[in-house]
């Protein structure tokens, strides 16, 4: 695509990759957290609830800085991980981690809402038919919350695409490595004559966000039709 | 196979303390709402853990607090037919029916599948989804789903309560067939006297969490002390066989040597039928009535008289056909000089037939034959 400069194209590709990984890796823990919050009773449930939602309320810069402290090369988690070759600081993986953390509350919320809408009586019926708990989850609960999972995933993906504050604080703004779409737009706006490139990236952002929303609507409606049983 | 149940459970000021046995055939748990029926059924299924007790199917212990045994619901192999069907909305009818077989140690054979589908008449529905089914169809699929999980026994918690009369009469014959064909116990919760009369082999009457009476259906239903739904629902159930069909459109039955006449019944001579005679449809007479249009008159002897609230009394008569109940006023009882041992005649204004082995639609009540 020649209407996009190599640097701009790089930012677009990086952003898609970062958001995809952030969403994929965020989904399983989000499912677990949503299930725990919706179904289990345990001490510290409110604490977990608070922790999950924290990135939604904290200034993104704070989240980014906390990530830098814990997942930086000298951080309590980042340090040991570096030993085994996993590095987050100033890499695209760090951008994915930051985006994943910021998108996490949205994933959990959407999945939790759909979990709470599942009739436990259907799960009981499955148990009387011989399904153990894990099987009940796989054959009844999971298919029924699929629309919620899809909605959450798409929302999380869109959020990850737009993540700026935590990313730039945690992994800086290195072209080709950590310069995602929003970081690139910001960088282009800082240099004279960069408005054209910034505007093109803005258009791409809008297009990606819009198609993500439309896709999720379409998928959710399909899944809902399946689940409502008609 | 026999299910034996002994349960104690308390919740919110309600005390359940019930003990009963359910042999093969349909055992109806009968009682007002709030008498503890659903609690018992859920405890048998393992969906509720009672404080104390023991539940066993033959030698297999499902639950016993004395031995600290608790089998989780998915290992009990109990086919539970819920009031609301509870079909899985994301699966087709076929997948719903096969759901239990996925987890069953005895995988159902295709022949078994075909047999159940045919018995319930759900062949044309197999590829539909539950959302596209009517209430009666859903309930038939729910019955099939429970049957195809190769259960040790069947639980049915008011499976007909959510249906209108037409749908009820669509489903009832399937339960009759189940009772007559399956060798496993079926525990059926109901608060409808008509359902009990038609289906029950054994009746367990519940009141406020306690079993007030249990035994063979004919015996329990004819006991004037057991009127969990009030005297209005009282009635006796007699066993009879079809003798012959007369040219004038009547079918003659034989009930313990006494002939009974009902409107034409589509059943071959020799077929066993159950006849329900509601207590308020019976008139008593000291003399054998002469010049009366009623066709069905049985002679008997007063066994017991029970006073209820208000002006009514429930008289139970011993007749060659079995126990017959009559609801009359206090004033009439006095005028006739009725007391235990008095001989009198029961004049039946109408006789309701519950065909036992007929899969066709129910003929609920035959209008008065005179």
Which among B142, B19, B149 has a CA at the least distance from the CA of B75?
Answer: B149
Point out the residues of chain A with pLDDT beneath 50: none
- The separation between the first and the last C-alpha atoms of chain A, rounded to the nearest angstrom, is 44
DSSP H helices, B53-164, are 93-103, 110-120, 135-147
- Please state which of the ranges A170-184, B223-237, B315-329, B347-361 shows the lowest mean pLDDT: B347-361
Q: pLDDT value at position B309?
A: 58
Q: Measured in Å, how far apart are chain B's first and last C-alpha atoms?
A: 45
pLDDT at A2: 61
Residues of chain B neighbouring A225 (CB-CB closer than 8 A): none
Question: Mutual orientation of helices B110-120 and B135-147 as an angle, nearest 10°?
Answer: 150
The better pLDDT of the pair B152, B191 is held by B152
ipTM for the complex shown: 0.81
Is B3 in CB contact (< 8 Å) with chain A?
Answer: no
Task: Give the CATH fold of the B235-355 domain.
Answer: OB fold (Dihydrolipoamide Acetyltransferase, E2P) (2.40.50)
Report the C-alpha gap between B65 and B366 in whole angstroms.
50
> What is this structure's pTM?
0.76
Residue A127 to residue B74, Cβ atoms within 8 A: yes
How many angstroms separate the CA atoms of A107 and A151, rounded?
8
pLDDT of residue B91: 93
Q: B 152-171 residues with CB below 8 A of A?
A: none
As a whole number of angstroms, the distance between CA B347 and CA B248 comes to: 21
Residue B53 and residue B8 in contact, taking contact as beta carbons nearer than 8 Å = yes
Instruction: Specify whether the CB–CB gap between A124 and A98 falls below 8 A.
Output: no
User: d(Cα B314, Cα B301) in Å, to the nearest integer?
Assistant: 14
Residue B269 binned pLDDT confidence (cut-offs 50, 70, 90): confident
Residue B233's pLDDT band (boundaries 50, 70, 90)? low
Q: Higher pLDDT residue, B40 or B194?
A: B40
**pLDDT band of B363, cuts 50, 70, 90:** very low
Q: Do A125 and B129 touch (CB under 8 A)?
A: no
Distance CA B62, CA B367 (A): 47
Label residue A3 exposed, middle or buried (CB < 10 Å: 0-12, 13-18, 19+). Answer: exposed
Q: Which residue has the higher pLDDT, B186 or B256?
A: B186
pLDDT category at B348 given cuts 50, 70, 90 is confident
pLDDT reported for residue B84: 87
Using the Cβ of B290 and the Cβ atoms of chain A, whether some distance falls under 8 Å is answered with: no
Q: How confident is the model at residue B314 (pLDDT cuts 50, 70, 90)?
A: confident
Cα(B101)–Cα(B104) distance, rounded to whole angstroms?
5
Please determine, for residue B225, whether its predicted confidence score (pLDDT) is greater than 70.
Answer: no
Q: Report residue A26 as tokens.
A: 């965020």
CA distance B145 to B279: 38
SS3 of chain A: the string is CCCCCHHHHHHHHHHHHHHHHHHHHHHHHHHHHHHHHHHCCCCCHHHHHHHHHHHHHCCHHHHHHHHHHHHCCCCCCHHHHHHCCCCCCCCHHHHHHHHHHHHHHHHHHHHHHHHHCCCHHHHHHHHHCCCCHHHHHHHHHHHHHHHHHHHHHHHHHHHHHHCCHHHHHHHCCCCCCCCCHHHHHHHHHHCCCCHHHHHHHHHHHHHHHHHHHHHHHHHHHHHHHHHHCC
Domains B3-229 and B235-355 equal at CATH topology level: no
Q: What is the mean pLDDT of residues B291-295?
A: 83
Contacts of B261 (CB under 8 A, 6+ apart): B250, B251, B252, B253, B295, B296, B369
Three-class SS state of B44: helix
Please, what are the domains in chain A?
6-228 (1.10.3720.10)
pLDDT of residue B355 exceeding 70: no
Q: What pLDDT, in 10s, does the model give residues B75-86?
A: 999 999 998 889
Interface test with B, best of A121, A128, A135, A141 (most B CBs within 10 A): A128
For B81, the closest chain A residue by CA position comes to A125
Return the pLDDT at B229.
Answer: 46
CB half-sphere exposure, A150, CA atoms < 13 A: 18
Is the pLDDT score of B359 beyond 60?
Answer: no
CA atoms within 13 A on the CB side of A79: 5
B95 pLDDT higher than 90: yes
Instruction: Kindly report the CATH number that applies to the domain delimited by B3-229.
Output: 3.40.50.300
- Mean model confidence pLDDT for chain B: 83
Pick from A125, A133, A229: which is nearest to B80 by CB? A125
Check CB contact under 8 Å for A125 and B47.
Answer: no
Q: Which residue has the higher pLDDT, B46 or B276?
A: B46
Whether B364 has a pLDDT exceeding 50, the answer reads: no
Query: Are A227 and B72 in contact (CB < 8 Å)?
Result: no
Residues on chain B touching A126 (C-beta within 8 angstroms): 88, 99
- What are the boundaries of each domain within chain B? 3-229, 235-355
């Amino acid at each position: 695509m020649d209407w996009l400069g190599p640097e701009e194209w790089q930012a677009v590709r990086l952003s898609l990759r970062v958001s995809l990984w952030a969403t994929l890796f965020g989904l399983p823990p989000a499912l677990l957290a949503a299930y725990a919050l919706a179904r289990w009773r345990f001490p510290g449930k409110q604490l977990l609830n608070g922790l999950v939602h924290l990135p939604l309320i904290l200034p993104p810069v704070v989240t980014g800085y906390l990530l830098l402290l814990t997942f930086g090369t000298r951080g309590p988690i980042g340090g040991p991980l570096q030993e085994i070759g996993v590095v987050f600081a100033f890499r695209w993986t760090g951008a994915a981690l930051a985006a994943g953390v910021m998108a996490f509350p949205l994933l959990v919320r959407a999945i939790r809402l759909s979990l709470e809408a599942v009739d436990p009586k259907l799960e009981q019926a499955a148990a009387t038919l011989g399904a153990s708990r894990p099987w009940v989850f796989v054959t009844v609960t999971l298919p029924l919350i699929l629309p919620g999972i899809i909605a959450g995933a798409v929302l999380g993906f869109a959020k990850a695409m737009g993540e700026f504050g935590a990313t730039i604080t945690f992994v800086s703004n290195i072209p080709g490595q950590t310069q995602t779409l929003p970081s690139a737009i910001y960088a282009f706006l800082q240099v004279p004559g960069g408005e054209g490139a910034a505007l093109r990236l803005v258009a791409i952002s809008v297009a990606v966000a819009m198609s993500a929303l439309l896709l999720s609507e379409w998928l959710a409606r399909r899944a809902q039709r399946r689940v409502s049983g008609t | 196979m026999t299910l034996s149940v002994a349960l104690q459970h308390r919740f919110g000021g309600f005390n359940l303390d019930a003990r009963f046995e359910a042999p093969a055939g349909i055992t109806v748990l009968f009682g007002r709402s709030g008498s503890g029926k659903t609690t018992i059924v859920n405890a048998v299924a393992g969906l509720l853990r009672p404080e104390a007790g023991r539940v066993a199917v033959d030698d297999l212990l499902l639950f016993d607090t004395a031995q600290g045994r608790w089998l989780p619901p998915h290992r009990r192999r109990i086919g539970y037919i819920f009031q609301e069907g509870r079909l899985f909305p994301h699966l087709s009818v076929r997948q719903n029916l096969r759901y239990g077989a996925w987890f069953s140690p005895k995988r159902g054979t295709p022949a078994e599948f075909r047999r159940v589908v045919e018995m319930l008449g759900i062949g044309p529905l197999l590829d539909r989804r539950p959302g596209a089914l009517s209430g009666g169809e859903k309930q038939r699929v729910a019955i099939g789903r429970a049957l195809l999980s190769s259960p040790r026994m069947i639980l049915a918690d008011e499976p007909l309560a959510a249906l209108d009369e037409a749908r009820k009469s669509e489903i009832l014959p399937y339960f009759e067939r189940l009772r007559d064909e399956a060798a496993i116990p079926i525990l059926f919760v109901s608060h409808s006297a008509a359902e009990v009369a038609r289906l029950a082999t054994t009746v367990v009457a519940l009141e406020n969490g306690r079993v007030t009476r249990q035994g063979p259906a004919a015996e329990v239903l004819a006991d004037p002390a057991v009127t969990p739904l009030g005297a209005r629902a009282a009635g006796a159930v007699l066993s009879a066989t079809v003798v012959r069909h007369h040219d004038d459109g009547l079918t003659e039955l034989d009930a313990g040597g006494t002939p009974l006449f009902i409107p034409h019944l589509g059943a071959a001579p020799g077929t066993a039928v159950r006849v329900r005679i509601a207590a308020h449809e019976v008139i008593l007479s000291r003399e054998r009535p002469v010049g009366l249009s009623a066709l069905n008159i049985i002679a008997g002897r007063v066994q017991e008289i029970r006073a209820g609230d208000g002006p009514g009394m429930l008289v139970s008569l011993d007749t060659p056909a079995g126990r017959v109940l009559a609801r009359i006023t206090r004033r009439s009882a006095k005028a006739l000089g009725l007391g235990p041992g008095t001989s009198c005649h029961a004049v039946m204004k109408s006789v309701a037939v519950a065909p036992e082995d007929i899969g066709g639609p129910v003929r609920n009540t035959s209008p008065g034959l005179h």
